[in-house]
Structure 1
């Protein structure tokens, strides 16, 4: 227990140092690092977020995967405008493709802490991005400087989310094209998919077809590693279940943001069809190979997250700063 407390204290101390190092004015359009400096009385907004996320991480390390999924699912539909957080009978969070998204209560807690210190200053869209960076760092990922200055959107549609978010069987060329239309490269696609799948779990119902009836053949996916297939079949019966497997099948890597995912899919251990496809497709295989054998992922993932965070942002006088992330003002 003493070792765990020491490790946690060291991580927090390093985070404070890194937060201080971000206090300068680099900008991208109207987004910039350190946007909230001097805007929240004497409070360091990013430190407030860090403290709330760190407490949640100590209780549940799977919050990392939850926040990574949340940022991707928010940014990919209408841009990074926190539309995913809005409640409503037909809001984005009610879409089937968002059924696995969680972490809303953590965002609520962060928002409440910030509203207490400086009401109507920090957007929910920025909270998602800052909180995700903290979670990546706590899961042994490399620290990256987030850009802030986003404002929150008004529109949230389940049908839009359902038709916009890419599914687990999407072909690689179509996925690459979807990312490019959002200003993201093929490398960004591989980095973001890998970052999202390097932590967390995937429930059996999302890949049962690969185990028992791949593309209607009545047989397993031939690209799957035989030992991995046997393990998955033991966990995921044909009749279905609520069981799950780690998205990253590298031993001892399932809760760390590292390159283990790329090593696993090169061995045929990808869980979803898209995982295995990027390891062999001509548009992505070279990137997967490079990330699996070098230290590039640690340095490049943060950059891909920053670029994701620029998609479709509202800034300046656009949108609003919500008082409550679940509803419009």
Structure 2
């Protein structure tokens, strides 16, 4: 997005012992949850499941390449709230505002895309393939379809029963996040600084809305009424030419200008030129470890980036998964089974 994990300082032997127990407990939980995931989980129950997903993606993504970024973002947003359990797909009800209604998810797209695949799978194998697995498979297959990296997607996830809009703000890193916030939110999911740099590399594709993502950097950075001094001045002029007011909620801007539909190293090169679109992008250069990672990636080969990105995606898509008897297999991804 370090070869070393984030370390936490403790002052006493008692706190070391307590911390060790907590960390061990988290690792055991994550290990047991991930253990039930396996490659070709549906080999016997729905042998053509993954092919149905891939065929649909390969047929439709070439006609709608702008969906790749949102579908990958959906995968990220799902996993950061209650784990990778398709809670992001649930609709709000009269008594509950679901994750879809949360501010970070209000610009998500691709829900219908997921629903159409789910319908195909339900017709072939009713009540077998989870919506959570569909999100994970679609994220990978969509990226591959535009010539990007591939990664292993073991399956066997089950769908969660809870979706709460307020949890999106506390769990999903915002584009306005500073470095310490990014580190904290990634660490809470078992992801380290290297994962942070690599997963941020997904910003090499897609667009962002002006007002929710970066307008404050142009017109009122940190409440100063001015421009973010860390932003390249020429780049700022280009941004202001499209995002003419801080209240613009319709205009979109390419996250990696010039190659926003190509999964390449452009994002890292832009960040080093102080042309990262978000505050969170610029924040990655304020730490020596993450800046070094970015430089290595920008100067390295595309194949190396792909291989490293794949490792981080494999980690992220196993965060907090529900398996075995946890959750359910939804018949309709937007609604809990009755």
TM-score for both structures, normalised by structure 2:
0.85
Indicate yes or no: 2:271 matched with 1:269: no
Which residue pairs with 1:327 in the alignment? 335
Distance in 2 of aligned mates of 1:176 and 1:155: 26
Which residue pairs with 1:61 in the alignment? 65
Indicate yes or no: 2:300 matched with 1:286: no
Alignment equivalent of 1:318, drawn from 315, 321, 326: 326
TM-score for both structures, normalised by structure 1:
0.87
Which residue pairs with 1:255 in the alignment? 261
Tell me the SS of whatever aligns to 1:36: coil
Deviations 1:17-68 (A, max 9, x none): xxxxxxxxxx95111111111221xx42111101111222122101111111
Deviations 1:253-307 (A, max 9, x none): 2111222100111011111111111123224111111111112211111111111
Deviations 1:184-232 (A, max 9, x none): 111111111221x111101111211211222233322122122211111
Alignment equivalent of 1:309, drawn from 270, 294, 317: 317
Runs (4+) of structure 1 moved beyond 3 Å? none
Aligned CA RMSD, in angstroms, stands at 1.5
Deviations 1:62-91 (A, max 9, x none): 111111110111110100010111111411
Tell me the SS of whatever aligns to 2:151: coil
Paired positions, count = 298
Distance in 2 of aligned mates of 1:264 and 1:82: 32
1:160-199 correspondence to structure 2 within 5 Å = 160-195=167-202, 197-199=203-205
Q: Report the alpha carbon displacement of residue 321 of structure 1 after superposing the two structures with TM.
A: 0.7
Alignment equivalent of 1:30, drawn from 13, 36, 44: 36
Indicate yes or no: 2:55 matched with 1:48: no
Distance in 2 of aligned mates of 1:56 and 1:87: 24
Which is worse superposed, 253-262 or 75-84?
253-262
Listed as ranges, the gaps of 5+ residues in structure 1 are: 1-26
Distance in 1 of aligned mates of 2:56 and 2:138: 9
1:1-329 correspondence to structure 2 within 5 Å = 28-40=34-46, 43-89=47-93, 90-195=97-202, 197-205=203-211, 206-238=213-245, 240-241=247-248, 242-249=250-257, 251=258, 253-295=259-301, 296-329=304-337
Tell me the SS of whatever aligns to 2:310: helix
Distance in 2 of aligned mates of 1:258 and 1:177: 27
Q: Report the alpha carbon displacement of residue 104 of structure 1 after superposing the two structures with TM.
A: 0.5
Distance in 2 of aligned mates of 1:175 and 1:277: 9
Listed as ranges, the gaps of 5+ residues in structure 2 are: 1-32
